[in-house]
Structure 1
């Protein structure tokens, strides 16, 4: 079985309307499916479910969209700190705020 580029994407949002998106790419032989749960050092002890899988044959990649993280009452600096924690574990913020 060939390996694929798997892009994992997660939106981080607040109840006040601030949002951004972080991604991390892995090479894998496994095709993700809706309902699978993903664990990552950035999440601590939480495993987030995959809610959508998009196959992009032109880009030769698969994107798995995880459940949105909602930060209740957080301000922009708190969101930036949350994103920095992801970045420490190899994630990239594609919509910096």
Structure 2
């Protein structure tokens, strides 16, 4: 069973990928909050992203190319959180 924090990030990821009124900025802020509160590490978040990317059933109606494009945008944005995690 996943922790509530993992489920939160995963559900926001799925909503973001399926264009359910979740922007890149919104999911970034959720993840930033989880990391700054030490609920999840950046490595944990990247693993969640990898699992969503690998799992064809997580968002089966989103083309793989579109899924990769959005997840790569998020990964690039998350790189700036490495410093936040080191400071904490």
Structure 2-normalised TM-score?
0.32
Which structure carries more helix by proportion?
Answer: 2
Question: What TM-score do you get using the length of structure 1 for normalisation?
Answer: 0.30
Q: Is the radius of gyration larger for structure 1 or structure 2?
A: 1
Structure with greater strand share of residues: 1
